[in-house]
Amino acid sequence: MFCSFDLEPVSVVPVFGKYYSANNIHPPLPAKSLLPHELQKLVDFASPQLPAPGAVETAVVSAPCATYPTISIQSPGFVLGAPLKSSSSPYSEIKADFAYRSGSRSAVIPCKEKDPNDLNSNSWTICTLPDNGKELTPSKDGEILIRLKGCGMYIQSQQQLPFPGITLIDEMPCAQFQTNQINTTLSTLHLHPANVPIGVWIYGPILNDPTPLIEKAVIVMQTFGDKRLENHLLTGLDMLVDNGIGDSDAEIVMKCVRRVFGSRGKEVPSDQNMTFIRTSKMKFYNLETKISNLEKYGLEHLGFVPTQSILQELDSTTTTSKATYHINENQIPIQTLVKLHAQLGFEAGRALRAIHSTKPGFLWGTYQDYVNFQLHCNAHCDNLVVLPLQMIAERKQILSPLDFDMAFSMETVFNFWQQPPVPEPSLVSYNFNTELSALIEDVGGASASGLGVSTTAVEPRPMPENKDKRCIIWLLRDVMTWEFLIGYTNPTGGPTEAAIPTPTVPLDTDWPQIIDTIRQALFLSQDKHS
């Protein structure tokens, strides 16, 4: 279980709330169907407001420039069941102390189908499955993993304020609706989702709540992973390069790399030739533009070398083919590490293209925020989760995207800077390239190095002291970047009429060692939180 979820346990307890199934969430109205004064109401809601005279509590609501999904008007009554991270409930002695931490404001809790004949007083209905109406209850041995997004800021046995660790009311239906829409596109590519929406709880009054007037909610989804690409997998892989490759093996690899780059008149990736610095100079095109080959982006001009050329050089040299990295007592060819990073890059690019291609055209969540006028962007590596190892083995899929509470589409977007506000689908199409640039730079080490314009809170991680090993890490980031663009331009991975190469797909015989490598990387980074 440690490979998929955080090691830090948290307790979840039931409090009063109103439960809504994901079936009760309805599509947002198209922006063009709203009158100017109706759009203005949405703008006013999203804008920072000065506290009213005598106000006892305030909240800053940051909302995307789009209309919202809605919940059925019929309102259920308050029942004891809304999950909250806390050491105890003011209303019940029931406590599930076997949940996993997920970031600061969320948790993952194992559940099972509730047996109507089970009279266990320590169980409660945490949600009802929307497809069959079956109730789920927390269970230490449960095999259904439920993500509770926004269930309070209870961390390391410290009871913290439930706000802002709880989801605001308008964020909640967005996450459910957008996730379902994007999951539909993922299914057309035969990809497994990270989360499947189940329902939402709107919290009732909570004892000692310092902000009782602010309505709060928790999003309930079935989840299939919590370890993140950046903070866990890539961090662990960097550690594996440092600790698992001997100095002599690193020297052999870099001699080969210098040959393949030098033969093309290119500089080897290094601290002085960082991947994301070069991708920041890439050419970008509209999503509708037919890309005939990767050179249209200018990659080779920027010093990148095709992955297949790197692997061919590694395979062609007898001494290089013996270069390995070590996992426990096992020696694994260095080519496996290259193929793993190629697969990660391809899957990251494919995930972003799936989001952008979701009809009528979706952004992951990019807009200029009213708060400090900052650009908010959800397209970063830590919004890609690592699926369970068994699922990776069965599906040959490592990553899946999540966090769509700020996603919006060309149909719902409007320009809130113009007065009066007007529908403007181009705000989505224009920012496709903003998200492409942000994620490809993240793949290329922007967040990891701390030198780029990071869109995530990931802390920079140290590089190996050995110069050759540092160059190998930058080489692997080059590989991910090359394959990322293949995934974005050719998400099916099959042959195309254009000259887009197919991805560097690992052979079936490569996957056992790739999975061992992923397992080891997640072990090395297991103290990191999502």
Q: Is the pLDDT at 418 greater than 90, yes or no?
A: no
Yes or no: say if 126 and 94 are a contact pair by the CB < 8 Å rule.
no
Checking if the pLDDT of 8 tops 60, the result is yes
Domain of 462 in residue numbering reads as 230-357+440-524
pLDDT at 425 over 80: yes
Tell me the residue type at 296: K
pLDDT of residue 151: 85
Residue 164 has pLDDT above 50, yes or no: no
Mean pLDDT value of segment 339-356: 97
Question: Dihedral, CA atoms, 31, 43, 69, 456, nearest 10 degrees?
Answer: 110
Provide the token pair at 388: 């369970």
Q: Are residues 190 and 254 in the same domain?
A: no
Does a cis peptide bond (omega within 30 degrees of 0) precede residue 506? no
More confident call, 305 vs 492? 305
Same domain? For 343 and 290 the reply is yes
Residue pLDDT, tens place only, 40-83: 887 776 665 555 565 555 555 555 578 877 776 566 789 999 99
Confidence of residue 495 (pLDDT cuts 50, 70, 90): low
Tally of CA atoms within 13 A in the half-sphere of 42 that contains its CB: 27
CB atoms within 10 A of CB 110: 20
User: Which of the four pLDDT bands, split at 50, 70 and 90, describes residue 162?
Assistant: very low
Residue where a domain stops, chosen among 226, 261, 292:
226
Instruction: Give residue-wise pLDDT tens across range 99-118.
Output: 999 988 899 999 999 987 77
For the cut 80, the answer to whether the pLDDT of residue 493 exceeds it is: no
Residue 330 and residue 477 share a domain: yes
Q: Are residues 123 and 240 in the same domain?
A: no
**Tokens (6 digits) for 176:** 């459910």
Residues 195 and 303 occupy one common structural domain: no
Return the pLDDT at 57.
52
**Rounded distance between C-alpha atoms, residue 182 and residue 160, angstroms:** 33
Q: At 209, which helix (H) or strand (E)?
A: none
Q: Say if residue 15 is in the same domain as residue 78.
A: yes
Number of domains in the chain: 2
Nearest-angstrom CA–CA distance, 210 and 159: 13
The reported pLDDT for the residue numbered 163 is 44
- pLDDT for the residue 98: 94
pTM for this model (two decimals) = 0.93
pLDDT at 26: 86
Q: Which residue has the tokens 């500089």?
A: 267
Domain membership of residue 410 (yes or no) is: no
| pLDDT band per the 50, 70, 90 thresholds, residue 150 | confident
Tell me the per-residue pLDDT of 186-235, one tens digit each, with 9 for 90 and over: 999 999 999 999 999 999 988 777 677 778 889 999 999 999 999 999 99
Whether residue 323 is contained in a domain is answered as yes
Q: Which two tokens stand for residue 47?
A: 């804008």
Q: Which pair of tokens denotes residue 335?
A: 């080519």
Instruction: Say if residue 213 is in the same domain as residue 302.
Output: no
- Top-confidence range, 312-326, 357-371, 422-436: 422-436
314 and 269 in one domain? yes
Neighbours of 246 (CB within 10 A): 15
DSSP notation for 363-430? ESSEEE-SSTTPEEE--SGGGEEEPPHHHHHHHS--EEE---TT-EETTTBEESSSSS-EE-THHHHH
Same domain, 155 and 187: yes
- Which helix (H) or strand (E) element contains residue 252? helix 247-262
Cα distance between residue 446 and residue 480, in whole Å? 13
Distance CA 22, CA 418 (A): 34
Q: Residue 357 above 80 pLDDT?
A: yes
Which one, of 147, 1, 108, 7, lies nearest residue 526 by Cα? 7
Q: Give the span between the Cα atoms of 183 and 511, in whole angstroms.
A: 25
Q: Which residues does 390 contact at the CB level (< 8 Å), separation at least 6?
A: none
Residue 2 has pLDDT above 70, yes or no: no
**What pLDDT does residue 369 have?**
64
pLDDT at 334: 96
| CB atoms near residue 445 (< 10 Å) | 29
Average pLDDT over residues 436-454: 87
Where among 184, 206, 226 does a domain terminate?
226
- Pair 217, 252 in one domain: no
**Residue 211 is assigned to a structural domain of this protein:** yes
Asked whether residue 291 falls in the same domain as residue 155, the answer is no
| pLDDT confidence tier of residue 167, bands split at 50, 70 and 90 | low
Residue 13 covered by a domain: yes
For the cut 60, the answer to whether the pLDDT of residue 390 exceeds it is yes
Share of the chain above pLDDT 70, in %: 85
**Is residue 241 located within the same domain as residue 335?**
yes
